[in-house]
Structure 1
C-alpha cells in the first residue's frame, strides 16, 4: 500500500491527528511511522506532516508537533488503527498532548499528489445549521512563486487570529516550504464563507493565487466533525459543539 490507494467509496471516513512530543527528537518518527502506515489495513490515503508555529502556512516549524491526515475505507479500520497500531500506541505512551477528530467529508475539490483523496459523491450532508465545520486547504507552490506566497502569509495569519468564529487552526506541511496546508475548525459553514469571500486581504490573496498561478496543485475539502478526543494547546476547541 502506498500513501494513496484506490477503492475508496462514499462511506469513507477521514481523521486528523495532532501529536505533540516533549522533544524535537520525535522528528525521527516521521521516518519510522511511514512503513507502518503503508501496511495499515483499510488506510486508503494518508499524509504524515510537520506543523508550523502559526495558525496558517508559515516558514516557522514546530519540531515537537506532528500531524496525520488519513482517509479510511471504513470506520472499523480507523477503530482498529487506534486500538492496535504501534503508531497510536506510541502516541498514548510518549506524546505530551494529542488531539484526534473523526471527519465526514462534505465536499472536496482538487488533488493531492496526483490523486483525489476524497472522491465523491459523499454520503454526509453539511449537517445542521450552526454545526461546526473542519476545513483542509493544501497546495503545491510553484518555486517561482514561493517569495510572493510567503510575503502574503503574515497578513492572512493575522486575519485568522481575529476570526472569532475560527475555533482553531494550524499550518501543516509534508515538504518544507513548497507543499503546505492548513487545517482549521469553524463554528459553522457561514463563518467559512465569510472568511473566504468577505475579508478584503484574504480575497486579494486568492485573486493573486489565481491570476499569477501560484500553485501547481491544490485541494480544498470541508468536513463535518463527528467525534473528538484529547486536547489541542491545552483544550478541545470543539468542546460542547458536538453534543
Structure 2
C-alpha cells in the first residue's frame, strides 16, 4: 500500500470517528468539485447542469443544493472555466452526508466521468444573509480549533456588473498570494450574475487578518456595501470536518498537514 493511500484511508477513519463523537443531528454541508480534461467530458458536465437537478430534487434528505460552474485562474474571474464544476449540498448529519457522497448514483456518476474529484465536508458556525430567498445553513457554535472555511455568495445587480468584475483581478491576486490560504475557488450558478467565493484557512485568526487587511478585497467589500451592488447576499463560516478525493493530485487538507508538520 502506498504512503498516500495509507494516509488517505487513515484520514477517512479519523473523519468518521471525529463526526460520530458529536451529535448526529449536526447539519453537514458538502462541496464537491469535479475536473474534466476532455471536450467530451466538459460537454457532459454542462448537460448535467440541467439533468442532475432532477436527481438532487428527488433526494428527500438533501435540504438545499446548487449546481455551479467556475471561473478561470484563481476562480474569481468573469471568464468561465468549462473544466471545473461544483455541487453544493446540505445534509441533516455527517453520516448521511458521507453515505450520500460515497454511494448515491448521482455522485458516483460524476466521479466516474470526471478526471479528478474532491469533496470537503463542513459544519456552519455562522451565517448571515440569504441564498435564493432562504437561509440554507444551520449554524452551531464552533466546538474546537482547526481548519475553517469561508463562503460568500452574491447576486450582482446588472447595473453593477462592470464595476464588480472590474475589481475581481485584484481580489484574485490578493487571495492567491496570501501565504495562509489553504484552498480557494470561485464558483457560481449563473455566469456573471451569481458569484460564490470559497476558501479554507488554518484558523479564524488568519482568515480574519486577510478580511481586515486594507487591500483590494477589503476595498471591494466596502464598495459593495456602500453601493448596494448585490440584490441578495450571504456570508457563512464553517468548521472543516474532513474531505474525500484529490485536487491537483492530492488532498488539499493532506497537503497542508504535511507542509505544516
Scaled by the length of structure 1, what TM-score is found? 0.89
Quote the residue 1:224 is aligned against: 239
1:25-52: CA deviations, max 9, x gaps? Answer: 1211111111000011310111110011
3-state secondary structure, aligned to 1:157? helix
The aligned counterpart of 2:165 is 150
What is the distance in 2 between the residues matched to 1:83 and 1:196?
A: 35
Post-superposition offset of 1:11: 1.9
> SS at the partner of 2:77?
coil
Per-residue CA deviation, residues 83-119 of structure 1 (Å, 9 max, x unaligned), is 3322111133221000111111111111100000013
Instruction: Return closer, same or farther for 1:207/1:10 CA change in 2, 3 Å cut-off.
Output: farther
Q: Distance in 2 between matches of 1:135 and 1:94?
A: 28
2:190 to 148, 162, 175: 175
Deviation at 1:160, TM superposition (A): 0.8
1:125 corresponds to which of 142, 152, 162: 142
Question: Which consecutive unaligned segments of at least 5 residues does structure 2 have?
Answer: 1-23
Distance in 2 between the 1:151 and 1:100 partners? 31
Q: Give me the whole-angstrom Cα distance separating, in 2, the residues matched to 1:237 and 1:199.
A: 28
Contact kept? 1:56, 1:157, Cα under 8 Å: yes
Unaligned runs of at least 5 residues, structure 1: 1-8
Which residue matches 1:4? Answer: none
Offset at residue 55 of structure 1 (A): 2.1
Q: 1:10 to 1:209 in 2, by over 3 A?
A: farther
- TM-superposition CA deviations, 1:48-83 (whole Å, max 9, x none): 100111324311111121111111112232233223
CA distance in 2 between partners of 1:37 and 1:201 (Å): 37
Instruction: After superposing the two structures, state which structure 1 stretch, 19-28 or 233-242, moved more.
Output: 233-242
1:108-131 residue CA offsets vs partner (Å, 9 max, x unmatched): 1111000000134x1x41631xx2
After superposition, the C-alpha distances for 1:152-199 in whole angstroms (9 at most, x for unaligned) are 101111111110101111110001101111111112111111111123
| Counterpart position of 2:211 | 196
- Would you identify which runs of 4 or more consecutive aligned residues in structure 1 move more than 3 Å? 240-243
More helix by share: 2
Q: Is the 8 A contact 1:132 1:241 kept in 2?
A: no
Q: Which residue of 1 aligns with 2:80?
A: 61
TM-score of the superposed pair, with normalisation by structure 2: 0.83
Distance 2:78 2:159 in 1: 16
CA distance in 1, matches of 2:178, 2:104: 37
State the secondary structure of the residue aligned to 2:248: coil
Q: What is the distance in 1 between the residues matched to 2:95 and 2:119? A: 16
Q: Report how many aligned residue pairs link the two structures.
A: 231
How far apart are residue 217 of structure 1 and its match? 0.8
* Residue 172 to residue 226, structure 1, CA distance change in 2 (3 Å): same
Please tell me the root mean square deviation across aligned C-alpha atoms, in Å: 1.9
